[in-house]
Chain A
Amino acid sequence: MSTSILSYRTRGWLRMSVEKQDTLLKMAVLSLAAILSFSCRLFSVLRFESVIHEFDPYFNYRTTKFLAEEGFYSFHNWFDDRAWYPLGRIIGGTIYPGLMVTSASIYHILNWLHITIDVRNVCVFLAPFFSSLTTIVTYHLAKELKSPGAGLVAAVMIAIVPGYISRSVAGSYDNEGIAIFCMLLTYYMWIKAVKTGTLFWSTMAALAYFYMVSSWGGYVFLINIIPLHVLILMITGRFSHRVYVAYSTLYVIGTILSMQISFVGFQPVSTSEHMGAFGVFGLCQIHAFVDYVRSRLNKAQFEVLFRAVISTVAATGVLVLVMLTAMGKIAPWTGRFYSLLDPSYAKNNIPIIASVSEHQPTAWSSFYFDLQMLTFMFPVGLYFCFSNLTDENIFIILYGVLSIYFAGVMVRLMLVLAPVMCILSGIAVSSMLSTYMKQIDEVKTEKKKTKFEGNYFMRSEIATFFVCVMSVFLVMYTLHCTWVTSEAYSSPSIVLSARGHDGSRIIFDDFREAYYWLRHNTPQDAKVMSWWDYGYQITAMANRTILVDNNTWNNTHISRVGQAMASTEDKAYEIMQELDVDYVLVIFGGLTGYSSDDINKFLWMVRIGGSTEKGTHIKEHDYYTPAGEFRVDKEGSPTLLNCLMYKMCYYRFGQVYTEGGKPPGYDRVRNVEIGNKDFELDVLEEAYTTEHWIVRIYKVKDLPNRGA
């Protein structure tokens, strides 16, 4: 459009050529979008302080600090003996190092330039910085798919979409913060490779894929969606030499590079999740070879050869695959990924996966909450892609359809859906707006120039009305996204805040208070037992050895801890002696009304504790009342009222007045007066309780000096 105007107007506004105005406008919009995406993620830093949020980021922060201080070789060979006592954890071989290496590099570069920023601040602000880069990559990707206008709309939409913000606020230092950038970069390089068919872009795509593999376990999605794209191009008859070059290069170089990450190791050649890519690679070679032979032979000879070869190859291929899977050389689909294909698998078989709230299926309100207007524009974008099918559009359609399904299975994967929603919505909004904007100015030529002119009705008024409606939609989107970010996704979880009766803000900093007490008041080699949620935070902030943490790689060990929490004091003492536990830490919300405490998580401890052979005496229905309810008052089951977790949470709570007009010992989360009030602890002694009773630490007493 700019070139047609260029022909009769070379000097527009601001005494610049139209092309230069075009570039200036694009750069202005993109810079504003990048700055916007950085700034709207800073709510929690402004409200509280620059602190790492949640649980998993603390582990990433600890490993980044180690990498920044000790160097890459110690990091790569690191065996951590302060987690999973007495087993330990090989950190070098069980993490995706991309995030830590990126942060450590930025830290070293900034310090080399004498901009002295602490590692903690680099970690806190890394995710917003990468979201700005994501905005720019989204622009380029949508520009390749449709037009620069679509790119700009997609870029501003992804700057504030809540589905992406939820995992990339300042302080949320997790793999997804950089993984989305790497994923979109790989897709952009792949689309360029398919469009141009050059080795340069294919190799760049392989390098981007390597960066993606190093940053997140979700790379399995990429290594399945790209072969699926190639397969669909073959089925629809669009396979060409460009696709052949692009995919062969990407598969070979990308797979070799991905095996350089220790955690990935030999998985690309031995697990079923990667076999699809391998199969399509073989199919590519066969297809290209068949095309070549077809161009050299005449028709009859070709038919004979073709049929013979296809039948032999297909038969041997299937036979080999079945044999290898049966012999166990190719591992079948594993837990987390298998539960994407069969959502009920985790619920029935693996309680640890089922207990994580992020792994629940998605309800409609999560879609609307995280995406708002994009849920309307997504089908429209698909419609525009289907209207003119090209190789690239097929890719984005595939990505959109697959990610809608996966986001429906697991709430956490809404993150993977958000970029494609933005791109497709950008395509839709841009196409509709460019059609309608052309109609706003009435072209006043001679009346009835074409015989169809009379068929139009109030063309420019309708067009203006549509543009107004679309503007209202976009403004509502902005308001919604800002509100959601501010209210729902900016809480650091390690610091809680509430409003008092007079409207003043009360800050609950109990977690850090307890961890720093542990750090300063216990011996260096003390071992702390708690539920696995708090493991990473204890190792990072309290610097003490723990039994189980969020990595949850050893279900039996977690089950042992669950058995200790769910048993009576004497049985629990045996388990604690076996595991050399010195301190026990529990989270209790009854005084403040904090509902994510250990009593609410207790049923999961019972289920997981009872799921291994040493815990078969722990049955879930023992902890319910005869009516089948989970209650902590006088009606509660005696097994529950005498287990270790109950005693640790409610020790001395029976004398505390929590609410006006209620008896002492009133639990403000369960809203009942507790059943078992005045008891003494035999094998533990209270070591520390924080100001609002949220974290309670107990010391395990030593064996008595004399026998009974």
Chain B
Amino acid sequence: MLDFVYGLPFLVLELPRLKLKRPSWVTVPSPMTVFAFILLSYFLVTGGIIYDVIVEPPSVGSTTDEHGHSRPVAFMAYRVNGQYIMEGLASSFMFALGGIGFIVLDQTHSPSTPKLNRILLIIIGFACIIISAIACYAFMKIKLPGYLMS
């Protein structure tokens, strides 16, 4: 009975002679690939890309000094929730760099890496961490001149 119902459409339609296979390159991605994508999107979002698209600030600000020349201003000062495009991307690059520094340090524990590689990885890891922390503190100090001073 069910065979008859299934066969009804084929009284009118003709089956094409095709062999369709799911392409072999479509697979569930590995966890680390997904992590790389997430890190990239973290870089973009914390850089304020949505703020840039909606508010459309300039790439760098400008101010005129005493001689009348216009000088670029990197950081939009005195406002916590405002930024120029370049300062946003620079800061989020620092955030991502700090995270990568810690991840690199985590890779230095396996016993089978050669000594030179291990030393280089350790140096890179600590350098990333310390540079990004100091850079973010400096950026914030430029942005809010009263930062960490009561």
Are the C-beta atoms of B111 and A375 separated by less than 8 Å?
no
How would residues 448 to 464 of chain A score, 1 for a CB under 8 Å from any chain B CB and 0 otherwise? 00101011110000100
Contact (Cβ within 8 A) B96 A379: yes
Please tell me if the beta carbons of B130 and A383 are within 8 angstroms of each other in the complex.
Answer: no
Contact of A366 among B81, B109, B111, B130 (CB under 8 A): B81
Nearest-Cβ distance from residue A50 to partner chain B, whole angstroms: 23
For B97, the closest partner residue in chain A by CB is A376
Query: When the two chains form the complex, which single residue of B41, B83, B99 contacts A401, counting CB atoms closer than 8 Å?
Result: B41
Q: Does A337 contact B (CB under 8 A)?
A: no
Q: Please report the C-alpha to C-alpha distance between residue A377 and residue B39 in the assembled complex, in whole angstroms.
A: 12
A404 touching B42, Cβ below 8 Å? yes
CB < 8 Å: which of A377, A486, A488 contacts B102? A377
Residues of B within 8 A of A (CB): 6, 28, 31-32, 34-35, 38-39, 41-42, 45-51, 53-55, 79-83, 87-88, 91-92, 95-96, 98-100, 102-103, 105-106, 109, 111-115, 118-119, 122, 126, 129-130, 132-133, 136-137, 139-140, 143-144, 146-148, 150
Whole-angstrom distance from the CB of A471 to the nearest CB of chain B? Answer: 13
The 7 closest A-B pairs by CB, nearest first: A379-B99, A376-B98, A363-B83, A452-B111, A361-B51, A408-B45, A364-B91
Q: Are B136 and A361 in contact (CB under 8 A)?
A: no
How many Cβ-Cβ contacts under 8 Å join chain A to chain B? 162
A213 interfacial by beta-carbon distance below 8 Å: no
> B105 touching A389 by the CB < 8 A rule?
no
19 contacts between A and B (CB under 8 A): A357-B81, A363-B51, A363-B88, A364-B91, A365-B83, A368-B136, A378-B99, A380-B99, A383-B35, A383-B99, A386-B31, A404-B41, A407-B45, A408-B46, A457-B115, A457-B118, A469-B130, A480-B148, A488-B80
A344 CB-CB contact with B under 8 Å: yes
| 371-405 of chain A: CB within 8 A of chain B | 373, 375-380, 382-384, 386-387, 389, 397, 401, 404-405
Q: Give bound CA distance, A369 to B81, whole Å.
A: 9
Secondary structure call for the A interface: helix
Given A408-B48, A428-B102, A452-B111, verify A365-B143 contact (CB < 8 Å).
yes
B2 to chain A, nearest CB (A): 9
Q: Which residue of B lies closest to A473 (CB)?
A: B133
Q: Which residue of B42, B54, B79 is within 8 Å of A361 (Cβ)?
A: B54
Could you say which of A382, A384, A432, A457 contacts B105, with CB atoms under 8 Å apart? A432
Closest Cβ of chain A to B114, distance in Å, is 6
Q: A360-B55, A380-B99, A386-B35 are in contact. Are A452 and B112 (CB under 8 A)?
A: yes
**Closest B residue, CB atoms, query A344:** B54
Once A363-B81, A364-B83, A365-B143 are accepted as A-B contacts, the answer to whether A386 and B133 lie under 8 Å apart by CB is no
A407 to B136, CA, bound (A): 20
Q: Please, which residue of chain B has its CB at the minimum distance from the CB of A408?
A: B45
Q: Kindly list chain A residues whose C-beta atoms are within 8 Å of the C-beta of B126.
A: 465-466, 469
Contact of B111 among A455, A462, A488 (CB under 8 A): A455
Q: Which of A387, A404, A431 contacts B46 (CB 8 A)?
A: A404
Q: In the complex, are the beta carbons of A455 and B113 less than 8 A apart?
A: yes
| A367 lies within 8 A of chain B by Cβ | yes
Q: Does A621 contact B (CB under 8 A)?
A: no
- B46 in contact with A367 (CB, 8 Å): yes
Q: Given the complex of chains A and B, what is the CA–CA distance between A373 and B39 in angstroms? A: 17
| Chain B hits for A315, CB < 8 A | none
A486 pairs with B98, CB closer than 8 A: no
Q: How far is the CA of A110 from the CA of B113 in the complex (A)?
A: 63
Over the window 87-119 of chain A, the binary record of Cβ atoms lying under 8 Å from chain B Cβ atoms (1 yes, 0 no) is 000000000000000000000000000000000
Asked if A483 CB lies within 8 Å of chain B CBs, one says: yes
A28 to chain B, nearest CB (A): 28
- Shortest Cβ distance from B129 into A: residue: A469
Chain A, interface size category, equals 35 or more
Query: Are the C-beta atoms of A343 and B83 separated by less than 8 Å?
Result: no
Q: How far is the CA of A549 from the CA of B106 in the complex (A)?
A: 54
Q: Shortest Cβ distance from B116 into chain A, in angstroms?
A: 9
With A375-B95, A379-B96, A432-B102 as contacts: A401 and B38 at CB distance below 8 Å? yes
* A298 close to chain B: CB less than 8 A: no
Query: Would you give the shortest CB distance from B99 to chain A, in whole angstroms?
Result: 3
- Bound-complex Cα distance A347 to B56 (A): 12
Closest CB of chain A to B144's CB: distance in Å? 8
User: Are A379 and B39 in touch, CB under 8 angstroms?
Assistant: yes
Q: Is the CB of B133 within 8 A of A364?
A: no
Closest Cβ–Cβ distance, residue A163 to chain B (whole Å): 12
Q: Are A405 and B103 within 8 A (Cβ)? A: no
Complex: how many Å from CA A341 to CA B106? 36
Q: A366-B81, A369-B140 in contact; A361/B50 too (CB < 8 A)?
A: yes
Taking the nearest CB of chain B, how far is it from the CB of A328, in angstroms? 30
A479 close to B (CB within 8 Å) = yes
- On chain B, the residues within 8 Å of A362 by CB distance are 48, 50-51, 81
B118 engages A409 (CB within 8 Å): no
Within the assembled complex, what's the spacing in Å between the Cα atoms of A364 and B133?
15
Provide the residues of chain B in CB contact with A378, threshold 8 Å: 42, 99
**CB-nearest residue of chain B relative to A472?**
B133
Interface centre among A366, A389, A473, A476 (most CB of B within 10 A): A366
Q: A363-B83, A389-B31 are in contact. List 11 more A-B contacts (CB 8 A).
A: A361-B48, A362-B48, A364-B47, A379-B99, A380-B106, A405-B41, A428-B102, A435-B109, A455-B118, A480-B148, A487-B150
**B98 contacts which chain A residues (CB < 8 A)?**
375-376
Q: Which B residues are CB-close (under 8 A) to A373? A: 133
Contacts of A476 in B (CB 8 A): 133, 137
| A235 close to chain B: CB less than 8 A | yes
Instruction: Tell me which residues across on chain A come within 8 A of B55, comparing CB atoms.
Output: 360-361
Q: How near does chain A come to B17, taking the closest CB pair, in angstroms?
A: 19
In the bound complex, how far is the Cα of B55 from the Cα of A409, in angstroms?
12
Nearest B residue to A346 via CB reads: B54
A360 and B106 within 8 A (CB): no
Complex Cα distance A365/B74, Å?
13
Contact assessment for A380 and B102 in the assembled complex, using a CB-CB cutoff below 8 Å? yes
Q: Which residue of A lies closest to B128 (CB)?
A: A376
Q: Max chain A CB contacts within 10 Å: which of B45, B48, B53, B126?
A: B45
Contact of B35 among A343, A382, A455, A469 (CB under 8 A): A382
Contact partners of B91 in chain A: CB under 8 A = 364-365, 368
The closest CB in chain A to the CB of B52 belongs to A361
Q: Inside 8 A of B83's CB, which chain A residues have their CB?
A: 363-365
Task: Report the minimal beta-carbon distance from A434 to chain B, rounded to whole angstroms.
Answer: 12
The residues of B that contact A384 with a CB separation of less than 8 Å are 106
